[in-house]
């Protein structure tokens, strides 16, 4: 702190000595002091200018070399810069982490300024709404989303409810619905959140269809049973007629019982844990149990006129739920029985796959299935021939059960069919659930 007075005194004495060399006037010392002070001020201003230039444009790590009080000013400024830079780096890191979290969000996020220009958006929002998250920054959102409902929603300013619009991938027959929420924050800024609700809407539609189908499937046999009961109660019937009505009522009751049983099976499959690999079952045992149940159905429907061919297959064991696998195989066999005429041949067996997995298959030489029906066969209550399926007691849930069982065991259900030549339904299981035995 004492350097500046010393520098000033030194420059003043130097100026006075220099002035005395110029003459012996009595004003020489005074002029010398003034000259020294002026020189000191000039040098100090030069130093101040260097410091200011560094403060305005310089790098904290390249501080100018100073002496005196300016050295302390520069040092304190440099330390202050370091603290500010450290805080700025931490703030930038936190900001990037926050933006990375928004990028990873399954929901879209768009930040709008007070004039509805895009300040930032994540990739999800860009995908939902059909614009580029980088190229379209600072663009007016109205120019990018031209849906009249959205523009009216944005202009209205009442954001208490959300709005739904078509997404970028919406096509006829393939809906893509995006839900948009807007929240006001800051000084007129808006946070726009987008969410793909296509799956939710489809699930809701499936739920409505499911309830409608269940109601229809149960109402039909109930109507029949109710009519027969009224007939039995109100009309005098011969023993033969009474027995015939009771048999029909029994068949309808069994139909409802089968429907409820299949619904409970589906519910259990969807709500229970994935089967483990602790229980191993021989392929021969699974197939034999399924065959016994399907032969009983064939006896009931066609007097046992189906021709069963059990193909010689390698000895294997599979890991999973015995009851679920038997249920899946039984449904495949029952499907062949119900949809092929009496006298048809049904071949069953399994074969090893190239990846050491296994495929259980059921092949028939029935009428086959048209190609347009194949993608929908596993939909609940979907029937290719509704009248024949109901006549044979089918619930329309069998192949849905097969699909769920296969997926729960890490496999899949496959269908191959040619009209007029027959069909092949199969279940594949991955190598991790297959063990070959001698």
Percent with pLDDT over 90 in the chain? 24
In the predicted structure, residue 88 carries a pLDDT above the cut 70: yes
The residue behind tokens 């007016």 is 140
Q: In the prediction, which pLDDT does 1 show?
A: 43
Handedness of CA 259, 260, 263, 264 (dihedral sign): negative
pTM of the predicted model, to two decimals?
0.55
Pick the CATH number of 206-272 from 3.40.190.10, 3.30.70.2750, 1.10.287.130, 1.20.140.10: 1.10.287.130
Distances (CA, A) of 245 to 229, 239, 302, 359, 420: 9, 10, 21, 44, 37
pLDDT digits (tens, 9 = 90+) for 381-394: 777 765 554 555 56
pLDDT digits (tens, 9 = 90+) for 273-282: 888 888 899 9
* pLDDT tier, 405 (very low <50, low <70, confident <90, very high otherwise): very high
Is 274-436 assigned to CATH 3.30.565.10?
A: yes
What b/e string do you get for 51-67 counting C-beta neighbours within 10 Å, with b at 16 or more? beebeeebebeebeebe
CA 92 from centroid of its chain's CA atoms: 30
In the structure encoding, which two tokens stand for residue 389, read together? 């399926």
Domain ranges of the chain: 3-98, 105-196, 206-272, 274-436
Q: In the prediction, which pLDDT does 78 show?
A: 78
Q: In the prediction, which pLDDT does 2 show?
A: 43
CATH class name, domain 105-196 = alpha beta
């Amino acid at each position: 702190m004492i350097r500046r007075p010393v520098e000033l005194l030194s420059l003043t004495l130097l100026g006075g000595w220099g002035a005395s060399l110029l003459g012996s006037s009595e004003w020489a010392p005074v002029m010398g002091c003034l000259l020294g002070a002026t020189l000191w001020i000039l040098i100090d201003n030069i130093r101040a200018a260097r410091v200011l230039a560094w403060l305005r444009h310089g790098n904290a790590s390249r501080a100018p070399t100073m002496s005196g009080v300016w050295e302390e000013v520069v040092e304190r400024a440099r330390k202050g810069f370091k603290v500010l830079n450290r805080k700025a780096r931490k703030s930038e890191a936190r900001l990037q982490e926050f933006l990375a979290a928004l990028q990873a969000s399954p929901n879209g996020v768009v930040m709008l300024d007070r004039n509805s220009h895009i300040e930032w958006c994540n990739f999800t929002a860009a995908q939902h709404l059909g614009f580029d998250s980088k190229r379209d920054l600072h663009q007016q959102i109205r120019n990018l989303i031209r849906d009249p409902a959205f523009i009216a929603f944005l202009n209205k300013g009442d954001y208490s409810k959300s709005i739904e619009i078509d997404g970028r991938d919406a096509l006829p027959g393939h809906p893509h619905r995006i839900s948009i929420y807007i929240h006001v924050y800051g000084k007129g800024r808006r946070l726009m959140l987008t969410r793909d609700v296509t799956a939710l809407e489809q699930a809701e539609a499936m739920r409505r269809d499911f309830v409608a189908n269940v109601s229809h499937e149960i109402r039909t046999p109930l109507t029949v049973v109710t009519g027969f009961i009224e007939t039995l109660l109100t009309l005098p019937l011969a023993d033969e007629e009474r027995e015939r009505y009771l048999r029909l009522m029994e068949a309808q009751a069994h139909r409802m019982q089968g429907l409820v049983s299949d619904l409970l099976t589906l519910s259990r499959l969807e709500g229970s844990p994935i089967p483990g690999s602790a229980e191993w079952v021989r392929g021969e045992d699974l197939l034999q149990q399924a065959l016994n149940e399907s032969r009983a159905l064939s006896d009931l429907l066609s007097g046992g006129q189906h021709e069963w061919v059990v193909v010689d297959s390698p000895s294997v064991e599979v890991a999973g739920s015995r009851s679920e696998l038997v249920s899946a195989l039984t449904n495949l066999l029952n499907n062949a029985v119900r949809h092929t005429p009496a006298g048809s041949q049904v071949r069953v067996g399994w074969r090893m796959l190239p990846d050491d997995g296994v495929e259980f298959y059921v092949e028939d030489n029935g009428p086959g299935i048209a190609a347009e029906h194949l993608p929908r066969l596993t939909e609940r209550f979907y029937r290719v021939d509704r009248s024949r399926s109901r006549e044979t007691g089918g619930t329309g849930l069998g192949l849905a059960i097969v699909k769920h069982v296969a997926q729960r065991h890490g496999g899949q259900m496959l269908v191959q069919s040619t009209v007029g030549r027959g069909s092949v339904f199969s279940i594949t299981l991955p190598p991790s659930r297959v063990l070959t035995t001698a």
